[in-house]
Every structure is written in structure tokens, then in C-alpha cells.
Chains A and B, each alone.
Chain A
Amino acid sequence: MSMENHGHHDNHGSHEHQGHHDEHHHEESFVSKYIFSMDHKTISRQFLVTAVIMATFAMIMSMLFRLQLAWPNEHFGFINWILGDKWGKDGILEPGMYMALVTIHGTVMVFMVLTGGLSGTFSNLLIPYQIGARDMASGFLNMLSYWFFFLSSAIMMASFFIETGPASGGWTVYPPLSALPQAMDGSKLGMTFWLLSMTAFIVSSLLGGLNYIITIINLRTKGMSMTRLPLTIWAFFVTAILGVLSFPVLLSAALLLIFDRSFGTSFYLSDIYIGGQALEQTGGSPILYQHLFWFLGHPEVYIIILPALGLTSEIISVNARKPIFGYRAMIGSIMAIGFLSFIVWGHHMFITGMNPFLGSVFVFTTLLIAIPSAVKAFNYITTLWKGNIRFTPGMLFAIGLVSTFISGGLTGIILADSALDIPIHDTYFVVAHFHIVMGVSAILGMLAGVYHWFPKMFLRHMNKKLGYVHFWLTFVSAYGVFFPMHFLGLAGVPRRYYSNTAFPMFDNLVDINVLITCFAILGGLAQIIFLFNFFYSMFRGPKSTQNPWHANTLEWTTPMANTHGNWPGALPVVHRWPYDYSKPGKEADYVPQTVPLAEGEVDGGGHH
């Protein structure tokens, strides 16, 4: 195998040198360097900054509707200030706008921040760096991937400026609600924008994903066998495969919806009487949409969480100064999760009247996924055991992720049990579950990655103390917001309710909602600390040394400059797995992957 790898590497190297050579003939303009750049590092930073901005918008939206949930009918100048008289008259959020905010908040968080933003930032940054490549397989497609992502984000936000408001049928946009403009204002032009935005997003995601897969398969440097890849790369690899296989299905679902909306087809519509009129369409099925949507939707939640878990694996190992425990089992778990995530989508549809036997099958497959997930959690905990833990801000966020991944995963076991899902489906119990296991975990993982790789991205350090404060406030308020929501769900409170005041049975839950909103505000303020630290450190933070965390992976063997082609000279050659931390017999507590094996030394990754 090493022969093969060798020849391959040479080809690639010479090709890249050629490209590199050409660069010297022209000065790069500002536009080609910072805007339409094809360099993976620049594209990664573009994704990150866009995602940070989108996350800020989505968070402000959640503040607006959280104010409404805690203090319905109260007048908030803040709401009027942001939404104006049309949607925030007298400082009271208008019900249609409430739904729109919830919908766009969910869509932006799930797709723009945690799919595009998370994968886009770290796959782009780390794949070439950690496998020892000069760039992505196709810089051009990579650039297009970012610009489609940008377009998609811009269209989504532009929908707030439409007369009838943005899409408001929930982030899952189930038809017929989303198909019929008569059903609600949000299903008018806003829904068209939503569909356009998602179409651009899917294009972006496919271009990015194909590029990641091809790069990982083809451009690994000499000695970098698959079983010497850092777990980050494994996670990005499986994530990209999931995306490439599932996003086209979402695209087809969206296309059929566009047909139903605009061209009178009836894929999803049947026997509907609305707005004083019986529609012609018959024979379609709204349930078909749900099957298509969740065929993407479930893999999608793993598309969100796997990269976060990959980043965490790396950060925990580096900072515990220990090899990640059970490297092979971790790879196996990632693959098992990836595979199983395609055969569990029905757990979102237990109460759509599906065949009960089919329901049982989905219960079984869903609970199977819990096994590799449990293995991952135990392996993280064991990695900490007898470590020598250095609490960088990144490490704190990574440990926080392990905690929320466990807490949220456990409630998933309840929801996966079809019988138990009946009374809690679509209640706040679900909101609590998916925020903790997917939302909070992935955000913590992403922030861990930002703190950890900030020196690589911006050549400077973020401020440590602000990082500490940011972590503890964020972590505490995340649990403060989402833990009590389980209780709301068990009290029967449905999600996507503008207000619970129409039901006396919910009157005694007001204090819970107030507590949640207070924590949400605290958590929101904590992000100001982060935003400040992020932008300030980008320009003024202390300069970083080349390998500030004493890590083994290849990205830290590149000079602290945005070198085009990453390594000024030849590509590095890999001799060992990436987790030789505190290896007995070695003086330093880390051994970079480029250090040859000593005589008789066994490679820890199991490579022979």
C-alpha cells in the first residue's frame, strides 16, 4: 500500500507545485484573495464568520419569542424596536410573526449554523491540513460552495422584508400548510423564499460534500493511511457521505412542493377545502412529504453532531494528553451511526397513522443507534481517566459537549420508544431533547473548535479568561434553558404555541417559562463576550506559536502564516497514528505524526 500511496503523492505534489509556481506571476488582488478565494483556509474563515453572524440573528430571534412565552401580553419596547409596528405593535409579538421567528430560527440554526457553518468551517480548514494536502481537490467548487451558502443565507434573511413575512410553518415546513397560501401568510411569498434558499443551500452542501469526500480519499499524504487519520477527518468523511446521499432527497421533496405550490400538481395534496373553496387536487399524500423530509432529516441531525463529536475527540485527546480511548471503536461507531441514521427516519412519524408493525421496526433500528453512541460517550470519559488535563477554553467546551450529548441522548431513548412517544410527541419534551442533544452539543463542539483552532485560523489566540467566563455562562444557561423544558412537555405543553394562556391547565407553568427566559437572556448576553473576544482577538490577540497545544496532527507542522499550498517545501510524511500522547519511553508528552517510529516501536493506531 505504501508504494501506491507514494506514487500518488508524487503526482499530486508535482501538479500542485506547478499551480504554486504560476501564482508567482501575478499579485493576488483583494478580490481573489479575500472574496472569491479558492484557498481552503480563506473559505473556512468565510464560512465561520458567516455562521457566527447567522447564529447571532437566530439567537436574537429566539430572544424575541422567549420574551413572548414568558410574559405574554406584556409590552416590550425591544420587540417593537426590532419588528416595528406591523409585527410588534405596542411591543407585543404578533402570532404570525411568532411562528415565523420560530421557523426561521430553527432553519437557520439547523442548516446555516450547524450544517453549513460547522462542516464548512472545519472540514475546509482541517481536511487539507490534517491529511497533508495542499488544498481541496477542487478549489473552484469549494469557492462555489461558499457562495451558494452565502446566497442561501441572504435569501433566508431577506424573507423578513416581504410584506407577508417569512415562512412560518415550522422548520419542517409540512404541507399542506406550507403548500397553501390560503392557509397562512407565511405560506405565501415567504415560503417561496424559503424553498429558494434551501435549494441554494443544498447545492452548496453537495459541492462541499463531494469535495470533502474526494479530497480525503485521494489527497492523503504519504503514510497517511485511513487508520492513521485523526477522528476529526473520519467524522467529516462520514458526514459528507451522509450529506451527499440525503440532501438530494430533500431537494426532490422541495421540488415536488414547489410544483404543488405553483403548478397545480397534487403530490402532497388531496381532498382539501380551504378559504371557502374545494381544491381540485386529489390523490396526493402529505405523509409522502414527511417520509422524504425525514429521510434527509434524520441523517441531518447526525450531519450536525458528527463533526462536533470529531472535533471533541481531537480536543479531548490533545488536552487530556492521552490517546483517545478506543480509536478503532470510535471509527466503528462513526460508521455504524452513519449507516443506521438512514433507517430510522420513521421515528418522527409514529403518530401519523403509520402501520404499527413498521413503527416497531423503527423503534428497533433507532434504539440500535444508541449503542454506538453509548460507546462514544464511555470512550470520552475513559480518555479523561488518568489524564493530565489542560483546561483550555476549547477543552471546557468539549467536556460540556460530552455532558449534553449524554443528557440529550438519554431522553432520545424515551422518544424512540413509539408507545412513549404518543403522549409527548410535539411537546416541549421534544424541544428539550433535540436542543440538548443536537443544538447545544453541536454549538459547544463548534465553539470548542473555534477556541482550539483559532490560532491556526487567525494566527492569534483568543483571550483565555473571557473564554472561561463564556464557557461557564453558556453551559449553565444551556441547561437552565433546556432542562426545565422537559417538565413543560410532561405537563402536556405543545410546541409551536404562541402562548399557553388559552389553557387554564397551563397557568401554573408560567414560572417555569419565566425561569427559562431568564436563563436564555443570560446565555444570550454571554455570547456578547464571545463575539467581542472573537473579533477583537482576530486583530489584536497575542500571536500564537506554531504548535501552541503541543498536538500531533499535521496542521501544526505548517508555519504560522497563511502559506498558499500550506507547506512551503515538500509535503510532510506520516509515520504514526495521531494519538501518541504521553507514550511511555518518549521524553515529550507528544509525538507528532511526522516523527518516524523508533526501532521496534509499535504504531498505536494498529497500523502495520
Chain B
Amino acid sequence: MIKFLVYVAIILTVLAVGYLVRVFELASSLKGKRSEEITEKDNRLMGRIMLAFVVAFFLFVIWQLKSYGWRMLPEAASVHGKELDWLFNFNMGILWFVFVITHILLFYFAYKYYGRKDNRATYFPHDNRLEMIWTVIPAIVLAVIVIYGIKTWNHITAVADPNSQVIELYAKQFDWTARYAGVDNTLGASNYKLITGTNDLGMDSTSQAGKDDIIVKNELHIVVNREVEFKFRSRDVIHSAYFPHFRAQMNCVPGMTTMLHFTPTITTAEMRKKPEVIAQMAGINAIRKARGDKPEEFNYILLCNKICGNSHYNMQMQVIVETEAEYNEWMKSKMPKKEAAPKEAAKEVAGN
């Protein structure tokens, strides 16, 4: 019934507008005007709206910067992240400048030169000097952007420090598993054909390096100021390991191992004390409270950022950056119960 009424309402509205248009057209043709003709009055009105638009647009942008700006990701929590943030701001400086200038020119000209009846445009088909200027200047500015950009890119993608801690991140629909390389800092071999209900990562039990590997689900602990080298694998489809707070991301592709390394610089505890983070969390918790959800503390997070299936939107892992001591304490709790476990395993293999 309601659906029917909606249909009727839509049809009636369309008819009504149709009649209005008809009336408007008849009225103007009675006055001897052609309704489609663009008059000077139209031009003036549109020119003015152009000007009003650009002012309103700038105000809208400023309002967004003010009311959204402080809710963006907090300060980068990694060494290269700081460099990236600097580079981003540097580029944005240039872009804002170009954005504002071009928009002022575009809309101001639209207003200033709105058509008047007895005006004539200036015939100005080209000017080699002007064209030269706006080819060369963008070229120079872009060269600067490219040089800085590639420099930073080279820093980030340089080979990892051989002493960095090796951790494997294993992606599957729809969760993350971390594998720590253990005392030898080398990951054991694995093969997807070995995957079973109890061997989630397909670890090869004959691989020596794998004996001391430690598998942890749902949380990732890393040590502040110590470089981590991640090796990514995927079991099924492409996922992407996205660490927004560390300004890091790498795809996880089935059939190959991808790598990424960074050095976290701020522990989770320190981050929670930063004024900007406190302000953000206060805002978040106020909203949660109003909704009846329990309050949350700031946490680093790893998200999946490549469409990977219906639960893509909920494929995450908490990341904890801590001091060396805290990390060792935690690691101990994850070690196999018996101290001698690695040795025993070694014997077993030797016995074979």
C-alpha cells in the first residue's frame, strides 16, 4: 500500500513539474522571449554565483581542515613514517598553493567576464611565452617532487638491517597469524600442501630453522626502536597488511613472499600519553558512551587493506609496541613449556 502511494506521489510530482515547465515556457513565449535564450541577466546571475561558490568552497575546505584535521592519524610511530609525514606536508604545501591560485583565477574570470550584450571577447589564440612558462614551471616543480619522493622511497625500500628481527605475518580469510623466528632469527620452511587443522601455517617439521619458531594469533608484539623485518605470506587470496600508524603497507600474495621493514619509535604506552591521542580518544569514547559501547584505549592496529571476501572489513590484529624488557617477558609466556624443547626436537631429527 505504502509502495503504491510512493509510486503515485512520484508520478504526480513529475507531472506537476512538467506542467510548471510548460506554463513557464508558454508564459515566456507570450512575452516574446525564447525561454532557452541566455540573457545578460542570466549571465550576471551565474557569474555572481560562480564567485559565491568559490568563496563558499574555500570556507567549506577550511571548515573541514579545522573540524576533521585533528582526527587524522596521529604522529607517525616509525622512523621512516616521520620522513613520510614531512614529505606529505611538503607536497601538500605546493598543492594547496596551486589549488587556491587556480580556483581563484578560474572562478574570478568566470565572474569578471560574464557575457554582456555589447561586449566582445578579446581574440587571443595563443602566446608562446605564456605557454612556455606554464610548461616549464610545472616541470621544475614536479622535478623537485620526484627527486624528494624517490629519495624517500629509496630509504624506505633499502635492504633491511641484517640484525633486524624477522617476523612472518600469515594472512588468510579472515585473520592474521604472526610467526616469530625464534633465537636463530630464521624462519623455518613451510609448504601449503602441509596445511592441516593443527598445522595452520603448513610448517615443514623437518626444517631445523622452524623448530624454535613461535606462532601467535591475534596480537603482534614488537620492540620499540628495533627494526622488524616482516615476511608476508597468504594462504588463499591477496590481502594487504596495513599498519596506518607506522605508515607502512605491503600486499600478501599467495605463491610468493613479500617483505617490508620498519622501526617503531613510540611504545603503545607512550602513544597513549600524547596530547593529540588523548584528545582523539576522548572524542571516540564520548561517542561510544552515547552509543552504549564500552570505552577503549588507544591501540596500534594491523588491518587488511585489500578486498579479500565478505568479512574483509573485519580482518585485524592488535599491534603492541613495548620495551625490550616487556617484550621478553611476554615472549617467555609464549615459549613452549619445557625449556629444553628446541634441544629435544633437535635430537629427534638427529635420531631419524
Q: Which residues of A contact B (CB under 8 A)?
A: 81, 95-96, 99, 168-170, 174, 176-177, 180, 183-185, 269-274, 278, 282-287, 320-329, 351-353, 356, 359-360, 363-364, 367-368, 370-371, 374-375, 377-382, 384-392, 396, 399, 402-403, 406-407, 410-411, 413-414, 417-420, 422-423, 425-427, 461-466, 468, 472, 475-476, 479-480, 483-484, 487, 490-492, 494, 496-500, 502-505, 507-510, 512, 532-533, 536, 540-542, 544, 548, 579, 581-584, 589, 604
Contact = CB atoms under 8 A, between A and B. Distances in A.
Contact of B38 (A356, A392, A403, A413): A392
A466 B206 CA distance: 75
B312 A384 contact: no
Which 6 residue pairs across A and B have the least CB separation, nearest first?
A270-B255, A492-B244, A356-B157, A353-B258, A391-B46, A461-B36
B113 A422 contact: no
A184 B310 contact: yes
Contact of B237 (A183, A285, A500): A183
Interface in B53-72: 53, 57, 60-61, 64, 68-69, 71-72
B247 A273 contact: no
A430 B251 CA distance: 17
A396 B296 contact: no
B313 interface: yes
Interface string B233-272: 0011110101011011111011110110000000000000
Contacts, number: 369
- With a 10 A CB-CB cut-off, give which of A380, A463, A581 has the most chain B CB atoms: A463
Contact of A419 (B84, B139, B308): B84
A95 B114 CA distance: 50
Contacts of A583: 123
Given A391-B115, A507-B288, A512 B68 contact: yes
Contacts of B29: 542
Interface of B: 3, 14, 17-18, 21-22, 24-25, 29, 34-36, 38, 42-43, 46-47, 49-50, 53, 57, 60-61, 64, 68-69, 71-73, 81, 84, 87-88, 91-92, 95, 98-99, 102-103, 105-107, 109-110, 113-116, 119-127, 130-131, 134-135, 138-139, 142, 145-146, 149-150, 152-154, 156-157, 173, 192-193, 195, 202, 235-238, 240, 242, 244-245, 247-251, 253-256, 258-259, 280, 283-284, 287-288, 296, 298-299, 301, 303-314, 316
B179 to A, nearest CB: 16
B50 A270 contact: no
B240 A351 contact: yes
Given A417-B145, A508-B284, A589-B121, A492 B73 contact: yes
A176 B236 contact: yes
A413 B254 contact: no
A353 B106 contact: no
23 contacts: A177-B308, A180-B237, A286-B238, A326-B126, A326-B127, A326-B131, A360-B150, A368-B142, A374-B138, A384-B106, A388-B116, A403-B106, A411-B95, A413-B145, A417-B153, A422-B249, A465-B24, A484-B68, A490-B73, A497-B313, A504-B299, A508-B71, A510-B287
A293 to B, nearest CB: 13
A389 B120 CA distance: 10
Contacts of B308: 177, 183
Nearest to B153: A419
B306 A426 contact: yes
B43 A390 contact: yes
Contacts of B68: 484, 487, 512
Contacts of B95: 410-411, 413-414
B307 A548 contact: no
Given A351-B240, A423-B248, A532-B18, A359 B157 contact: yes
Contact of B238 (A174, A284, A490, A541): A174
Nearest to A416: B149
A289 to B, nearest CB: 10
Candidate in A321, A375, A396, A548 with the most chain B CB atoms within 10 angstroms: A321
A183 to B, nearest CB: 5
Contacts of B157: 356, 359
A27 to B, nearest CB: 33
A414 B91 contact: yes
Contacts of A370: 138, 142
Contact of A382 (B84, B130, B193, B306): B130
A153 B13 CA distance: 30
Given A363-B149, A508-B283, A320 B121 contact: yes
Contacts of B18: 532, 536, 540
A487 B313 contact: no
Nearest to A356: B157
